[in-house]
A and B are shown apart, each in its own frame.
Chain A
Amino acid sequence: MADEQKPGGSEVPSPPAGEGAKPPAKPAADAAKPAPPKPAAPPKPPATMAATPWDSDLAREVKARFGDGVLAASTYLGQDFVLTKPESAVPVLEYLKLEADFDYLVDITAVDWPKRAERFDLVYIVYSFPHNQRIRIKTQIVDGFEPRTATGVHLTANWLEREVFDMFGIRFAGHPDLRRILMPEDWQGYPLRKDYGILQQDVRWVQENLGIESGQ
């Protein structure tokens, strides 16, 4: 929290500082090798984020309030986040807005982890104007799960959820207007999924609507 106000690398907290010592060492090791342009799959990096438990009044309050619904409260690089069960994410948002002054929903986004059983990370970033504090609410959902919409809590969730639906194919239950927003409405496929290739396109759509063989 306190670190949030001083972005950059000068934080004192121990775990990130320990992490910070690594990057300068690594490039040196890479430079010694015969210049690999893309070290494609080095098995070295640890598989998980070196986050530490987030201990604060707010974290304890949220945990007490939602019990099993909150899986963990962690902090990484001075940024705090709460991991919740899928069905608890929106209630936590609502609680934070109404009772902890987190009145500004900054962003909603998703991250695709195709090899994981719960395929998507759904991430809500909220900010509190009175407390000048920013936290993230994260939840892991399986492909096909329809999380509840947050439009009833923050109006700004409307377009943000539409974009998540457009890019990842996550449908939000109860959303008032769930249409694609950036891609054409009848486009097939969800571009930000990891199994969607960078050159991939909806060939039929391109041929019918643009009158060309391929957009590539």
Chain B
Amino acid sequence: MPDTFLDSTELVLNMGPQHPSTHGVLRVILKLDGEKILGTDCVIGYLHRGVEKIAENRTYAQFNPYVDRMDYVAAISNGLGYCLAVEKLLNVEAPPRAQVVRVILTELNRIASHLLWLGTHALDIGAITPVFYCFREREEALKIFEQYCGARLTTHAFRIGGLQYETYEGFERDVKEFCKMFPPKVDEYEELLTNNRIWAGRLKGVGILNGDDCKEYGVTGPVLRAAGVKWDLRKAQPYSGYEKYDFEIPTRENGDTYDRYIVRMQEMRQSVRIMEQAVEAIPAGPILGKVGKVIKPPVGEAYVSIEAPKGELGYYVVSDGSTQPYRVRVRPPSYVNLQALDKMVRGALIADIVAVIGTLDIVLGEVDR
């Protein structure tokens, strides 16, 4: 028997890019001591399409559909951020009616995004049932998108200056029905998971990232809030009239995977609250502001960010006064959050990395752009 048979040296293990729990094409190189993780190196870029380069070769309006392809499970948030950035450069504001419809659709998309996260995260951990429940309700949200703009995933729902489409007949009824139907379903998910001993055992104390580390790594969104930092751009720097709605920012203290789960569950309930208020107060009026057919912002630059389901999504747009953006920089929450993975899994077990990748809620389309 060779001496190396019981060799206990470090082992380098490759995970992905074709691994179901990496949620796309993320490759993680793991350095292991037995089952313990000593270090990681993320290899990304498999989905790099050069979105920022494409932006420089399209007009402002032509680039709008491309942003949907970054975080494709929250396409509406991407579109909102981009439209707000260009509107800032143009110094125009969407009309009140458009703003309210934008808020409804964006919150509905936040729920759809969180549902996809919950279903796949639970699936990674080994709970098969939640994914069917989540997709059942997500379907209802996607039906509303489809009725509204014809697309379910990459919706291109908004236009620079407001909206392209008027709401359809029965839009308000559908949204109200969703708001009534959905909270009991969240109870159902919680019944399955929140007090489930296996679920808690797999998540509690795993992948801890405290508030200071979050700030140091630039981590935002539910991950930051689960670490006790009460910060949400919808409250801190409201856009699209979010200051008019009464809602809470859910936070937790421990910053572990379980807390991030709880925060997202509560966020879905808060999104329903926002939608309930918004749908009662859709004002009449135009849906598109005065932006003209040719969008040509004056020379200048602006950085506008919104609270996307995954964190701070920012657009830094530079205009040289022509019809095409001179530079569009996307500040993607998934990319920045993913950098903290190494910090979160060092010293953990190899099974935990699956839970941590799931709880970071990354979308590789946005990481790689």
Contact = CB atoms under 8 A, between A and B. Distances in A.
Interface of A: 4-11, 16-17, 19-20, 22-24, 26-28, 30-31, 38-39, 41-42, 44-51, 76-77, 79, 103-107, 109, 111-112, 123, 125, 129, 132, 134, 136, 154-156, 158-160, 163, 167, 180-184, 191-192, 194, 196, 198
A134 B318 CA distance: 17
Given A31-B292, A192-B52, 16 more contacts: A19-B300, A23-B90, A23-B291, A28-B292, A30-B292, A45-B321, A49-B301, A79-B303, A104-B218, A106-B305, A129-B229, A134-B303, A159-B336, A181-B45, A191-B53, A198-B54
A107 B316 contact: yes
A6 B87 CA distance: 13
B292 A23 contact: yes
A70 B231 CA distance: 31
10 A-B pairs with least C-beta separation = A27-B292, A45-B321, A20-B91, A156-B218, A182-B45, A8-B93, A9-B93, A109-B329, A107-B331, A49-B300
B75 interface: no
B293 interface: yes
Nearest to A109: B329
B299 A27 contact: no
Given A9-B92, A182-B44, A109 B293 contact: no
| Chain B residues touching A, majority SS | loop
Nearest to A183: B45
B48 to A, nearest CB: 5
B322 interface: yes
Nearest to B58: A198
A77 B91 contact: yes
Residue of A17, A50, A129 with most partner-chain B CB within 10 A: A129
Contact of B294 (A27, A106, A129, A155): A27
Interface in B67-116: 84, 87-94
Interface stretch (B8-16, B150-158, B184-192, B235-243): B235-243
Contact of B239 (A7, A28, A41, A51): A7
Interface string B33-65: 000000000001100101011101101000000
A154 B45 contact: no
A116 B340 CA distance: 37
Contacts of B215: 103-104, 129
B217 interface: yes
B119 interface: no
Contact of A125 (B88, B219, B316, B327): B316
Contacts of A4: 237
Contact of B45 (A45, A79, A184): A184
Interface string B216-252: 1111000000000101000011111000000000000
Contacts of B292: 23-24, 26-28, 30-31
Contacts of A48: 299
Interface in B294-334: 294-305, 312, 314, 316, 318, 320-323, 326-327, 329, 331
B167 interface: no
B23 interface: no
A17 B91 contact: yes
B218 A26 contact: no
B42 to A, nearest CB: 9
B18 interface: no
B335 interface: yes
Nearest to B336: A156
A27 B303 contact: no
Interface of B: 44-45, 48, 50, 52-54, 56-57, 59, 84, 87-94, 215-219, 229, 231, 236-240, 290-305, 312, 314, 316, 318, 320-323, 326-327, 329, 331, 335-336, 339, 368-369
Nearest to B47: A182
16 contacts: A9-B88, A20-B90, A23-B296, A23-B298, A27-B296, A44-B321, A77-B91, A105-B218, A107-B316, A109-B329, A111-B327, A123-B316, A125-B316, A129-B231, A132-B236, A136-B303
A206 to B, nearest CB: 14
Given A77-B89, A106-B312, A159-B339, A50 B327 contact: no
Contacts of B239: 7-8
B92 A7 contact: no
A45 B298 contact: yes
A23 to B, nearest CB: 5
A104 B217 CA distance: 8
Contact of B290 (A10, A24, A30, A196): A24
Contact of B302 (A41, A79, A105): A79
A182 B369 contact: yes
A85 to B, nearest CB: 20
A166 to B, nearest CB: 9
A183 B300 contact: no
B57 A10 contact: no
